Structure 1
Amino acid sequence: MTTEHTAATGRGFAHAKAILLGEHAVVYGSPAVALPIPSLRVEATARRIDGASVLDTEISLGPLDASDPLGTTVLETLAHVGAAPAGVEVVVRGTLPIGRGLGSSAAAANAIVDAVADLHGVALDDADRFELVQRGERVAHGTPSGLDARATSSSTPILFTAGRVEHPPIRFGGSFVVADTGARGSTRKAVADVRAFVEVHPERGRALLAELERLTVAGVADLAADRRDDLGTRMNAAQVVLDELGAGHPAITALIAVAAANGALGAKLTGGGQGGCIITLAADPASARRISQALLEAGALGTWTIDAEDYA
């Protein structure tokens, strides 16, 4: 993520992310792999105004509200840079769909933090930026793992484990297609439902989470060795586990079936689930185009393709 400074305006940028493997298990300290989606961007601008501070997003316009995740982000960042809570207008615009498991709240928060800091001429280190984003994410999601905060500001894939970030080697020729089911999901609710499953069925729940961890670790090795068929098999297996944990949704199941029928090597939900998006693996860019078209014809609201070679 970068910022550009002018005398009157601060700017910040971030992007969407898609979890390839490890969602839900990451909440319990297991690893997860996330891919940046640079084509889905969010920009925040901050400027000085007279009077009370204002937050303008594509879904709301009004004074800062500490009960709102992004309002919290603005207020916390102003306090961090030593500025008064009044006298700033923050405008957030982007192309990320909301409530689809692509990290929209964390991306917006990352952009806001950088814009407000930029306006005041403050250079934030990674630790400070992360903590400011997390404060807003806690309002949005309750107990966020920190994965979204890190992934939406990283230009390369990350392996996130209990707060630690690594950048795994990517030597992979496949492509990923992310598709929006059109069903809005709630990460907070999905995480709570999975937690409830684990509490009611502790032995089975722990076994399922361990299986997600095993699939993630193996998937990282697949990305480094260009094992496309193997990675696709692991994605399919992860979806079976996520369904049992309670993260599935009929719209997810339907689009996964379409992807499989059109040559996808693997497909699964991405993010919290219970709606939102799926991520599919295509053998090559040509296959990705076919899968994308089929998903759109089947009712997906949008598709976005990630060529893994771009990360090499």
Structure 2
Amino acid sequence: MLESFSAVVPGRVNLIGEHTDYNGGMVLPAALSVRLEATLIPRADDDITVIAESHAGPAKRTLSDQASGHWSDPCVGALREANALGLLTGGASLNVHSTIPEGAGLSSSAALIVAILKAARAVTDGAQTDIELAIAARRVENSYMGVPCGIMDQMAVALATPGSAMALDTKSIDYKLVSLPSSHQFVVIHSGIKRKLTDGRYAARKLECDRAKKYFGTDDLCLIEPEVLARVESNEPFLRRAMHCATEHRRVLAAIDALQSGDIETLGRMMNESHASMRDVFEISLPQIDALVQSAFELGAIGARLTGGGFGGCIVACIERNSQPGWINRLLESHPDARLIDAIVP
């Protein structure tokens, strides 16, 4: 019987810090209890077979296949990368089991790629660190799949620890773990609107950020002082995107300080201001998302915001620990398309 190798990684929710990870800024993701397990059996040829319970029938691919928009593209890209790293010398048979909902902005794609790379590392007892595998996973999304994402998702699913948040500097890839408050919990609610990073709108925001980088002569929009941006007499979209990045970076820093000092009020305010910026300045929210966030706040959330790349997916809300499950039930009653994904309790 052929030996199999498995790896399990969590989904992640970003508590605050959206679209800062490819602009030199800070992010604050946290691991979820939903997770993905990839089981890999190496092959001597270049064939790839993928079985995933969320998709009908096995996918038959080869290492020479280019990305085509098929659901198995992340698997092909991950196995190509595993070969480039010397972890494999051929294709593989893959079995994927996941409780991370696709199109929810909870890093299902990053989790799949990282899990495959971790399973491949086990084949040869490779020396690559989790950080190195996270960087490799980003290459898969950027170079093979054509998704211009930053490093946050891959770092979070590769390294995040349950019960804490990861304060990650995406410019230096330095990070520290920050304890979550025992008095509150972070509830992740799916809006019911699926989103996809490959649908073009995420890439459009990335291009606008690239234009802002060229205009200001820096790769690090997040590090520009907001006062400098405010003095530019223009309302070009790329300038609004830069303003979001600069202010969002500072909101993340304030949120980290608030978590460390137990200042839940400030944390909630930063989350609320973050959503307003995503809605009005970066323009990645939708009316249904805004309504869900507003209801969360009206029902008593300390803070609530869209999480993920935008244009659908989930919100995350900070609520008092003793207010659940009543709070969740009332929110879902008023938004029938929404559903509970997870509640992070330290």
- Establish whether TM, by shorter chain, passes 0.5: yes
Determine if contact 1:296/1:303 at 8 Å carries over to the other structure: no
Give the Cα separation in 1 of the matches to 2:310 and 2:48.
Answer: 35
Cross-structure match for 1:165: 174
1:304 partnered with 2:345: no
Give the Cα separation in 2 of the matches to 1:10 and 1:176.
Answer: 33
Identify the match of residue 54 of structure 1 among 46, 49, 55: 49
How much does 1:82 deviate? 5.2
Secondary structure, aligned partner of 2:7: strand
Deviates more, 1:142-151 or 1:62-71: 62-71
Determine if contact 2:299/2:331 at 8 Å carries over to the other structure: no
Deviates more, 1:153-162 or 1:47-56: 47-56
1:215 partnered with 2:220: no
* CA offset digits 1:22-77 (Å, max 9, x no partner): 1112221111111111x101000011457623122333622243412221101221
How much does 1:99 deviate? 1.3
Give the Cα separation in 1 of the matches to 2:87 and 2:110.
Answer: 23
Give the Cα separation in 1 of the matches to 2:207 and 2:117.
Answer: 33
Identify the match of residue 280 of structure 1 among 317, 322, 326: 317
Identify the match of residue 138 of structure 2 among 109, 134, 140: 134
Cross-structure match for 1:177: 187
Give the Cα separation in 1 of the matches to 2:343 and 2:93.
Answer: 34
TM-score normalised by L of structure 1: 0.88
How much does 1:127 deviate? 4.1
* CA offset digits 1:170-215 (Å, max 9, x no partner): 2623211000011011235343343455553344333232211121
* CA offset digits 1:215-251 (Å, max 9, x no partner): 1111111111111122111111111100121110122
Q: Count residues in correspondence.
A: 300
Give the Cα separation in 2 of the matches to 1:61 and 1:92.
Answer: 12
Cross-structure match for 1:3: none
Identify the match of residue 40 of structure 1 among 10, 31, 34: 34
* CA offset digits 1:267-289 (Å, max 9, x no partner): 10001111000000102x22232
* CA offset digits 1:68-122 (Å, max 9, x no partner): 2221101221342353323x20111110011111011111111111112223443
Give the Cα separation in 2 of the matches to 1:14 and 1:269.
Answer: 23
1:264 partnered with 2:301: yes
How much does 1:141 deviate? 5.4
Gap regions ≥5 residues in structure 1: 1-5
Determine if contact 1:176/1:288 at 8 Å carries over to the other structure: no
Q: 1:128 to 1:203 in 2, by over 3 A?
A: closer
- State, as a whole percentage, how many aligned pairs show the same letter: 24
